[in-house]
């Protein structure tokens, strides 16, 4: 009888722990949606540093997620990648020092609303919902989101039914994957590297991410990973605080200058080795 009691207690604790994890995930997502909605409806905001204030301060803060090679990641303790080097070039043109702040991708839009940094340079796919809470600059590049799978895995859309998928939290990939009929479930991960590791460990069957992040992962894990079908197409851009027109206008001007003088193409060749400018 005592053994049965212990078994029942163990099962109750197990169910409780599962429900707690599930509840926490739901609450985090609801909190994120609530903050975005309230900001859009009531205009909650913190003063964003203007172009003049940034120049006076002598530095500009760029926020990155730091886990998205070849766009932004870390080589040791130093930020690297196309978006990082392009940000350095923009800062040089602006005459200020670039400061890079690493945050989880899912918190970046909330951070820019609270003016925790000046620019999100981990490019975001432009959507109507996001434009309600932040100011998007002119498109920086256009890419596809694809399925990354283990070698021999479900590359084709026809193979996705019944499979377990994963995607970074807060991305358009996650939202799109949830709408695919037949997929068993879509797990969210804090960053690209977390999801790719879960894929390698067999916890998920496919991981939805940017095509060039998928390509970089397949190269770094040669013979273990490969890319599959396209999930969606996206137009990507940097983000600043809503109504920070002076900064947005100047950053757009400098970006256009760097695109025309060859800096943009040089950095694309160096980091991405593909022409992904929006046509």
212-223: b (≥16 Cβ within 10 Å) or e: bbbbbbbeebee
Dist CA 183 CA 101 (whole Å): 35
Strand 164-168 versus strand 206-210 pairing type? parallel
Q: Which of 44-53, 90-99, 142-151, 202-211 has the lowest mean pLDDT?
A: 44-53
Q: Is the pLDDT confidence value at 244 over 60?
A: yes
Delimiting residues of CATH 3.40.190.10 domain(s) in the chain? 51-140+237-271, 143-234
Angle formed by the axes of helices 263-271 and 82-94, to 10°? 160
Residue 133 is classified by DSSP as T
Q: What is the dihedral of CA 153, 157, 161, 164, to 10 degrees?
A: 50
Q: What's residue 45's pLDDT?
A: 43
Q: Is the pLDDT confidence value at 18 over 80?
A: no
Reference 106, options 197, 186, 175, 60; nearest CA is 175
The class of domain 143-234 in CATH terms is: alpha beta
SS3 37: helix
pLDDT in tens, 219-232: 999 899 999 999 99
CATH architecture of 51-140+237-271: 3-Layer(aba) Sandwich (3.40)
**Radius of gyration (C-alpha) of the chain in whole angstroms:** 21
Kindly write down the DSSP assignment for every residue of 43-105, as one continuous string.
----PPPPHHHHHHHTEEEEEE-SEETTTEEEETTEEESHHHHHHHHHHHHHTSEEEEEE--G
Dist CA 209 CA 250 (whole Å): 30
pLDDT in tens, 98-134: 999 999 999 999 999 999 999 999 999 999 999 999 9
Q: What's residue 24's pLDDT?
A: 45
What phi and psi, each to the nearest 5 degrees, are found at residue 49?
-65, 125
Q: Is 0.85 surpassed by the pTM of this model?
A: no
Q: How confident is the model at residue 180 (pLDDT cuts 50, 70, 90)?
A: very high
Q: Which residue has the tokens 């046509």?
A: 279
């Amino acid at each position: 009888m005592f053994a049965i009691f212990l078994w029942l207690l163990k099962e109750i604790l197990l169910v409780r722990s599962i429900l707690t994890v599930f509840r926490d995930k739901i609450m985090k997502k609801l909190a994120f949606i609530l903050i975005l909605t309230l900001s859009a409806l009531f205009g909650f905001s913190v003063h964003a540093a203007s172009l003049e204030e940034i120049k006076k301060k002598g530095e500009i803060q760029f926020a990155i997620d730091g886990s998205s090679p070849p766009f932004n990641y870390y080589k040791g303790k130093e930020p690297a990648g196309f978006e990082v080097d392009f940000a350095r070039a923009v800062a040089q043109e602006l005459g200020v020092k670039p400061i890079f702040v690493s945050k989880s991708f899912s918190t970046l839009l909330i951070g820019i609303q609270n003016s925790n940094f000046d620019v999100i340079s981990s490019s975001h796919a432009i959507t109507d919902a996001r434009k309600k809470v932040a100011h998007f600059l002119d498109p920086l590049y256009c890419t596809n989101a694809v399925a990354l799978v283990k070698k021999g895995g479900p590359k084709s859309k026809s193979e996705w039914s019944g499979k377990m998928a994963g995607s970074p939290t807060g991305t358009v990939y996650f939202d799109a994957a949830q709408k695919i009929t037949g997929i068993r479930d879509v797990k969210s991960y804090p960053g690209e590297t977390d999801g790719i590791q879960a894929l390698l460990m067999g916890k998920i069957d496919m991981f939805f991410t940017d095509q060039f992040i998928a390509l970089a992962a397949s190269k770094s894990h040669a013979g273990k990973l490969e890319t599959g079908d396209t999930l969606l197409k996206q137009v990507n851009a940097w983000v600043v605080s809503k109504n920070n027109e002076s900064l947005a206008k100047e950053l757009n001007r400098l970006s256009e200058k760097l695109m025309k003088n060859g800096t943009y193409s040089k950095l694309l060749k160096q980091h991405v080795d593909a022409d992904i400018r929006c046509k």
